[in-house]
Amino acid sequence: MTHQVQLFINGEFVPSKSDRFIPVTDPATQEVIAQVPCTTADEMAFAIASAKEAFKSWKEVPVSERARLMMRFAHLLKEHQTEIAEIICRELGKTVEDAKGDVWRGIEVVEQAANIPSLMMGETVENVARSIDTYSYIQPLGVCAGITPFNFPAMIPLWMFPMAIACGNTFILKPSEQDPMTVNKIAELFALAGAPAGVLQVVHGNKEQVDVLLRHPDIKAISFVGSVNVGQYIYKTGTDHLKRVQAFAGAKNHMVIMPDANKQQVINALVGASVGAAGQRCMAISVAVFVGDSQQWIPEVAAAIAKVRPGVYTDPDAAYGPQISPQAKARILSLIEQGKVEGATCLVDGSAVQVPGYPNGNWVGPTVFSDVTPEMTIYKEEIFGPVLATVNAASLDEAIELVNNSPYGNGTSIFTASGAAARKYQHEIEVGQVGINIPIPVPLPFFSFTGWKGSFYGDQHAYGKQAVRFYTETKTITARWFDDSIPVSGPNMSINLR
């Protein structure tokens, strides 16, 4: 029988009573490797009730104990990094090193969650008035929920629930139905680390289960990463139901190449940043803006990318794996054809790539377009595949205007030897995460992941200090204590707070 993915509710893995299942397929072969249930309404209600009940005791656990749970959890994730990576390879098709990196970036967030005592420190001012002090506490919200995408099945869930739980909340996680087994393994390790029953729940399904989380009155905050349309829906629906929402959506990331940049560094960076992970990452470089004389390098960039080839994760020479589904592959191929029709020059065409022995895989080869203009579909839409569009600009000012006109603002980078150019770019660009001679500027977790514009809906971003603000409320206390044995000086001991 095909493996049935279980639910993780109230500290136990249990088979769902659902009569509706979604197949989980190996994207390199289309073999069905598991069936993931659509969690029933009763099971969803039980998971939320369990999380709400667990919150009553979990919020009272000393912050130092919550930190030690995260230390134990990080240790177990490190011990099982290869095992988790193998699950990712099996259900998503990533290469082994890419999958290990997926896990490791999540571990770094858990390590940040282990610093939670210092991150939850409040503020105090003594004698705001005579013998009156004011101080603030940071307290958890209650039950929070996360909805995560297929492309980073370890890292993105680990962006969310460790920070939320370390803050004193409980958490319900709904991972992508396309690769759910990674999250189940992570939940198993979290329980092994000593997490009390009910602190973390894992439910499975699709839009129906997401809608329960968005509308249920006991869910206080929603974290989401995914596509633009779904991100907008999550944000609108969640806020309409008076919840806090952070929704990370689409991207169209530009890399600006100045003529004084190191050519070989530019080529190396573009190869990995454009087609790495099969282009299935929201921080991928999908547009390269060549300024002035650097436009002469485009043929060399195309030649380098043309050497890259996809393959199965067991092939050590494969640069990246398949697309997640036949539907994703078909969409990418359609956009490639659209680029040709609209007049872009296809320097490298990966539409017909084949991987020997895997004729049914969702393969798309590396693809490079030149002569791309902002009116073209391949420039405007997030392709989410191994496709690079190159654009020409006459000056840095023109490149900045091009990037700032994009509706997205997730990440961008500039390659240059000029400190003045880099300073101008980082100051004027309207993008949340900027790399200088670094193609994919994802910050480490003691900062926050800070997409702008149409790449993010909400107020507080993921991990780091902003995540603590998102998952907590601030309580401010103004206190005065009377002691008849201590004489009080001053004509008036009252305080007017208005």
pLDDT digits (tens, 9 = 90+) for 418-432: 999 999 999 999 999
Residue 494 has pLDDT above 60, yes or no: no
Mean pLDDT score, 86-102: 98
Told to judge if 282 belongs to the known catalytic residues of this protein, a careful annotator would answer yes
- Are 182 and 87 in contact by the 8 Å Cβ rule? The answer is yes
**pLDDT single digits (tens) 127-150:** 999 999 999 999 999 999 999 999
- Are 234 and 212 in contact by the 8 Å Cβ rule? The answer is no
Q: What percent of the chain has pLDDT over 70?
A: 97
Higher pLDDT, 497 or 179: 179
- Provide Rg for the chain, Cα atoms: 25
**pLDDT single digits (tens) 378-434:** 999 999 999 999 999 999 999 999 999 999 999 999 999 999 999 999 999 999 999
Q: What is the pLDDT of residue 158?
A: 98
- Are 102 and 150 in contact by the 8 Å Cβ rule? The answer is no
> If pLDDT is split at 50, 70 and 90, which confidence band does 483 have?
confident
DSSP 449: B
Write down the catalytic residue from 89, 144, 167, 282.
282
Strand-pair partners of 367: 387
DSSP 64-129: HHHHHHHHHHHHHHHHTHHHHHHHHHHHH---HHHHHHHHHHHHHHHHHHTTHHHHT---EEEEEE
Residue 496 has pLDDT above 80, yes or no: no
Q: What is the pLDDT of residue 485?
A: 79
> 131 by DSSP, 3-state: which?
coil
Q: What is the pLDDT of residue 301?
A: 98
Residue 312 has pLDDT above 70, yes or no: yes
Mean pLDDT score across all residues of the chain: 96
Element spanning 164, H or E: helix 155-166
Residue 37 has pLDDT above 90, yes or no: yes
**pLDDT single digits (tens) 206-265:** 999 999 999 999 999 999 999 999 999 999 999 999 999 999 999 999 999 999 999 999
Domains, in order of start, for the chain: 3-249+463-477 (3.40.605.10), 253-436 (3.40.309.10)
Mean pLDDT score, 283-309: 98
Q: What is the pLDDT of residue 1?
A: 57
